[in-house]
Amino acid sequence: MRRTIPLVITFLIGLYPIFAFFVPHGSISGANDWLDSALVIVAAFALPLGTVNVVMTNTTKLKRKSRGWQYSIVLLAGLTVMAFYGLVGGTGVHPSFQWMFVNMVSPLQATMFALLSFYVASAAYRAFRARNVEATILLIAAIIVMMGRIPFGDMMTRGMMTPLSEWIMSIPNAAAQRGIIIGAALGAASMSIRIILGIETTYLGTGKD
Amino acid sequence: MKTPLLFILAAAAVVLASQAPAPAVLAGEIQGLRAFDSPGDGGESVTLEWEGGPSTLVSIMRSESSGGPFEEVGTTIGTDGAYEDYVEEGRPYYYRLSYRIGDQDYVTAPVGPVAARSNWFRSYRLNALVLAVLMFSLVIYYINAAKRGKDLYIRRISGISAIDEAVGRATEMGKKIIYIPGIMSISDIQTIASLSILSHVAKQTAVYGADIEVPNKDPLTFTAARETVKQAYMEAGRPDQFREDMVTYITYDQFAYAAAVSGKMVRERPATNFLIGYFFAESLILAETGQSTGAIQIAGTAAPTQLPFFVTTCDYTLMGEELYAASAYLSKEPILLGSIKAQDIAKALIIVTILVGIVAYFFGSTVIRNLLASR
Amino acid sequence: MNARKLLYVDRRVIYLLVAIGALVPIIRPIGLPTVPTKPVQQLFNKIESLGPDDTVIISFDYGPSSEPELNPMAQSILRHCFQRRVKVLVMALFPLGGVNMAIDQLQAVADEFDDINYGVDFVNLGYKDGAQAAMKRMDISIESLFPADVNGDPTKDMPIMAHARNYDDIAVVISLATGIIGEYWVNLVNAQFGVPVAVGCTAVSAPKYYAYLRAGQMMSLLGGLKGGSEYEKLLVDKYEFARELYEQPEIKITSAMAGMDVQSIVHVIIIVFIIFGNTMYFIMKRQEKAR
């Protein structure tokens, strides 16, 4: 029973949106909209579970003085203060919350995103080696695209780099992307059918593997 | 005598009238206005169609009675020849169009009544229905073939073969394994595929006695991942080794999550990192940090933009459909392998259709293109 | 010369040079020229063809992490729309800060125009959860999805809403997106409802959108700072007010055109490193062969 009931629910709920995709009748689409809303509500209920886990994991770490326990203090303090002002603000935004968002959360996020430029540089340095013909083609294409994205490229080649780079992006790149998207979409469809039909259950942790 | 004469005169008049030129249609004049329930919708709209029409704006006038009053509900360019009006389901309406050619105002005769009705089939999605039925049929056919014992060849995927090796390495080194199931919710199919692989990895760690940690960004994925790992330890016969802190929740924020997991990688220096699921810009931050700590890394995603980053920084990458095939491949169950075979056949059919479409288009036929048009 | 040692250079050396390359043009701007590309030109031309009777949706589908890349294009597109007196519906479907981005950018740009009125020429509809469900709903009625604006005021009394009943009234949707929401606009709103969609995205996610652009499912693509700088360039070339505006130091420093200086230098550093790495690689191979 523990295994059958979830599979029956999965079958019915999984098939319904497919049915609703083809049947526009109000009696069908209404329930489909309800399913969309239900997902949001379920996610909202799961969030406190996550928060409780964060608090428990970090308080345990503090109690045991595990490695890196100092970071747990920062985390718990941040969580408490932001949650407090978030709740005090009600449906609006409390000025202290907005201040922390603008002056702390926002620059920290931008910093993390900015790290990408450093990581892209070091990853590109390692990856682009002319080891064989394919790697050399990749290397040349990468340099053309990078040059095509900056004014220097056009200045050095009398405006040839931008169109060349656009060509690489919109023809070979788009073709490869489509190939991956089609393959992945088929894979997703096949996996979905396996889940709907109850053949694939490993994600439930009840596979026979 | 008079009657035949009158008859002849009347007949002559008819003949003359029929030979007389028809009243000229003014350039831009609207002809043949018709209103009907929009096909294949949920009873939301009425469609108007007409011939001709000026290249200027036409007012769409609507009323609930044929005598009016009509009020403007929208405008469109006359030459468009069609307009979709959103209305209340089941209520009858009358329409007429009002427009201007030069200095002269024109109003068409009203048409109607017409009411929007909920339909039972989106006819324009017939092609999608055919493809869906075909895909279902192929999967069921090949699953049955596999059940009957037909030998199905599936190519070797090195990234999947390396999973056990990576778990073994962590066991030998006595270091942790970090498994990142992407940052999307359980409603995303890539997350489900990732949890299937997590189930296998957790069983291996349970068997070998290696330590695993699954940090999560999404709360729903977190609860599902915890169940998956717990169940895997039970099935491996080591429920006592499962700890609640093996699966943790970090935060809902993408970059705060990336910062926390990167910090964990730098401090704890895991032997193996799995990055499998749906990733966005944090993929490179996580994978490059893992690479810098010397961990063996196995990645898997169907997100095309993140694949280059994983290929550059990870030892093995499951690309696109390989991610979805992994759970079937790992389980070695014939019925699961059957569905992968079906997927391959569908892919071959798509390739053939694309080629036929290209050839047909080259010869001026848009039949294939129109057949595949989606809405 | 030990080519192997040079080849496996400490990654912190690369980080340091990238940091210097990013800082110098901020302190001392170079002002490199920008050449607009066709995908960007298409959105500019589309807005140029619109007027006071037309309505566009600008959806802020990004958070603070993408702010430096996407804010400049948000500002230049808003400026263009307001200059053309095109009606603008602003909304946010991205949960983590999308609405904050919308509030900030609207405030920054709307104040520059004297005769632009809230509720008449533009409105901020705020954040709505459930991206795809929200997009589907707008095909029936935008007002029913957003009965109140970001300030909680009812939208039904706002004159702009008469020009924005559903997608039929929308000339173009512009999604400034990070993550997957831009794809939803393309896959759902363009594919199912036929509304022209343009996406402004971070440079890192631009490649995936080219497939949609080529397939005609998107009418325009603005990729990262480059896309933003091209839009600014088109605006500056066409309008005197924009030329003066982008000369003001506080606007100039945060513009995409200024950001392109940084991107250019960093790209050159990466290219130099790639060439250096390959040179060392070949020297190392030759040295090993000689041994």
| A208 — pLDDT class (breaks 50, 70, 90) | very low
Same domain (yes/no): C234, C115: yes
Ranges of CATH 3.40.50 domains, chain B: 158-332
Do residues C159 and C217 both lie within one domain? yes
- Residue ranges of the alpha helices (H) in chain A? 4-22, 26-64, 69-88, 95-100, 106-127, 133-148, 151-157, 161-168, 174-196
- Domain limits at C272? 3-28+264-290
Compute the 3-state secondary structure of chain B and give helix, strand, coil in percent, each to the nearest 5.
50, 20, 30
Between residues C44 and B344, which one has the greater pLDDT?
C44
List chains adjacent to chain A, taking adjacency as at least 3 C-beta pairs closer than 8 Å: B, C
Nearest CA in chain C to A142: C271
Q: Which residue(s) pair with C60 in the sheet?
A: C176
Residue C282: other Cβ atoms inside 10 A = 14
Chain C nearest-CA residue for B72: C162
Q: Which domain holds residue A177?
A: 128-200
Chain C positions contacting chain B at CB under 8 Å are: 11, 63, 65, 96, 139-141, 165-166, 168-169, 178-180, 191-192, 194, 202, 204-205, 207-208
CA distance linking residue B6 with residue B9, whole number of Å: 5
Distance, CA of B172 to CA of B365 (rounded, Å) = 63
CA separation for the pair B143, B257 (Å, rounded): 40
Chain B residue numbers with beta carbons less than 8 Å from the beta carbon of A200 are 196, 327-328, 336, 339
Give chain C's domain count: 2
- Residue C275 within any structural domain of the chain: yes
Q: Which candidate, C41, C69, C88, places its Cα nearest to that of C237?
A: C41
Query: Is the pLDDT confidence value at A108 over 70?
Result: yes
Q: Are residues C85 and C21 in the same domain?
A: no
Domain total for chain A? 2
Q: How far apart are CA A38 and CA A46, in angstroms?
A: 12
Selected residues 230-259 of chain B with any CB under 8 Å from a CB in chain C: 252-255
pLDDT digits (tens, 9 = 90+) for C128-171: 877 777 888 888 889 888 888 888 888 888 999 988 988 989 99
HEC per residue, B67-122: CCCCEEEEEEEHHHCEEEEECCCCCCEEEEEEEEECCEEEECCCEEEECCCECCCC
Report which residue type is found at C1: M
* A186 vs A154: CA distance, rounded Å: 40
* pLDDT for B21: 52
Q: What residues of chain C lie within 8 A of the CB of A129, using their CB?
A: 277-278, 281
* Closest listed residue to residue B302, CA positions, set B329, B328, B337, B277: B277
Q: Which two tokens stand for residue A60?
A: 């345990």
- Cβ–Cβ below 8 Å for B122 and A23: yes
Interface test with B, best of A13, A51, A191, A199 (most B CBs within 10 A): A191
A19 touches chain B (CB under 8 A): no
Mutate to test the interface with C, among A170, A178, A180 (most CBs of C within 10 A): A170
Task: Give C-chain residues touching A112 at CB under 8 angstroms.
Answer: 65
pLDDT number for residue B40: 82
- Among residues C157, C160, C162, C102, the alpha carbon closest in space to that of C128 is found at C102
Q: Does A70 touch chain B (CB under 8 A)?
A: no
- Amino acid letter, C251: I
Q: What are phi and psi of C244, to 5 degrees?
A: -70, -40
Helix H or strand E segment including C47: helix C38-48
C155 in a domain, yes or no? yes
Calculate mean pLDDT across residues A18-36: 82
CB contact under 8 A, C65 and B254: yes
Best B143, B188, B327, B344 member to test A by mutation, with max A CBs in 10 Å, is B327
Same domain for A145 and A195, yes or no, is yes
**Distance (Å, rounded) from C-alpha C34 to C-alpha B266?**
40
Same-domain check for residues A24 and A81: yes
**Residue A209 confidence (pLDDT) above 50:** no
The minimum CA-CA distance between A103 and chain C, rounded to whole Å, is 11
Q: Distance between CA atoms of C247 and C203, rounded to whole angstroms? A: 25
Nearest to A177 among B229, B304, B311 (CB): B304
The confidence band for A1, taking pLDDT boundaries of 50, 70 and 90, is: low
What residues of A are in contact with residue C269 (Cβ under 8 Å)? Answer: 121
Residue A23, chain B, CB below 8 Å: the answer is: yes
Return the higher-pLDDT residue of C83 and C179: C83
Smallest Cα distance from B253 to chain C, Å: 7
Is C259 domain-assigned? no
> Are C121 and C227 in the same domain?
yes
Contact A187 B343 (CB under 8 A): yes
Using CB atoms, which residue from C22, C33, C210 is nearest to A174?
Answer: C210
C14 and C69 share one domain = no
Task: Please indicate if any CB of chain C lies within 8 Å of the CB of A136.
Answer: no
> How many Å apart are CA B312 and CA C101, to the nearest integer?
33
B-chain residues near C164 (CB < 8 A): none
Is C119 within the bounds of a domain? Answer: yes
3-state helix, strand, coil in chain C (%, to 5): 60, 15, 25
Q: Compute the residue count for chain C.
A: 291
Domain stops at, among A39, A73, A88? A88
Topology adopted by domain B158-332: Rossmann fold (3.40.50)
Indicate whether C88 and C199 sit together in one domain.
yes
- A40–C33 C-beta distance less than 8 A: no
Q: Which residues in chain C have their CB less than 8 angstroms from residue B46's CB?
A: none
The CATH number of the domain holding residue C57 is 3.40.50
pLDDT of residue B250: 92
Q: Taking residues C49-71, what's their average pLDDT?
A: 90
* pLDDT (tens place) for every residue of chain B, 375 residues total: 455 555 555 555 555 545 545 555 667 788 888 999 988 888 888 999 988 888 777 888 899 888 878 888 877 777 878 888 888 888 899 999 888 887 888 888 889 799 988 888 888 888 889 988 998 899 888 888 888 877 777 778 888 889 989 999 999 999 999 999 999 988 888 999 999 999 999 999 999 999 999 999 998 899 899 999 999 999 999 999 999 889 999 998 888 999 999 999 999 999 999 999 999 889 999 999 999 999 999 999 998 889 989 998 999 999 988 898 887 788 777 777 888 888 889 889 999 999 999 999 999 988 888 888 766
Which SS3 state, helix, strand or coil, does residue B296 take?
Answer: strand
User: Which residue type does B115 have?
Assistant: A
Tens-place pLDDT, residues C225-260: 999 999 999 999 999 999 999 888 888 888 898 888
Instruction: Return the residue in A106, A108, A143, A181 with the most chain C beta carbons within 10 A, the one to mutate for interface testing.
Output: A106
pLDDT recorded at residue B228: 92
Comparing CB atoms, the residue among B86, B280, B303 nearest residue C140 is: B86
Does residue A136 share a domain with residue A71?
Answer: no
- A68 lies in a domain? yes
Chain A residue numbers with beta carbons less than 8 Å from the beta carbon of C11 are: 122, 125
- Asked if residue B21 has a cis previous peptide bond (ω within 30° of 0), the answer is no
- What is d(CA B202, CA B204) in angstroms, rounded to the nearest whole number? 5
Q: A75 and A134 in one domain?
A: no
What distance in Å separates the CA atoms of residue B196 and residue B339, rounded to the nearest whole number?
15
Q: Which tokens hold the place of B315? A: 């030892």
ipTM of the complex: 0.85
Say if A80 is an interface residue toward chain C (CB within 8 Å).
no
Write the DSSP symbol of residue C205. G
Q: How far is A131 from chain C (nearest CA, A)?
A: 9
Tell me, what amino acid is at A87? Answer: L
φ, ψ (nearest 5 deg) of residue A128 = -85, 80
Residue C33 forms part of a structural domain: no
In this structure, is residue C71 part of a structural domain?
A: yes
B354 by Cβ neighbours in 10 Å (0-12 / 13-18 / 19+) ranks as middle
Asked if A51 has any chain B CB less than 8 Å from its own CB, the reply is yes
Name chain C's partners: 3 or more CB pairs within 8 A. Answer: A, B
| Identity of residue B239 | P
Sheet holding B82-86, edge to edge: B30-37, B45-52, B82-86
Q: Say yes or no: C60 and C175 in one domain.
A: yes
DSSP C154: B
Tokens of C134: 């929200």
Query: A71 and chain B: CB distance < 8 Å anywhere?
Result: yes
A135 and A194, same structural domain? yes
For residue C148, which phi and psi values (nearest 5 degrees)? -130, 155
Structure tokens at B340: 């992968």
Q: What is residue A207's predicted lDDT score, i.e. its pLDDT?
A: 47
pLDDT at position C29, please? 82
Cross-chain Cβ contact B281/C178 below 8 Å: yes
CATH 2.60.40.10 segments of chain B: 26-114
Could you confirm whether domain B26-114 is CATH 2.60.40.10? yes
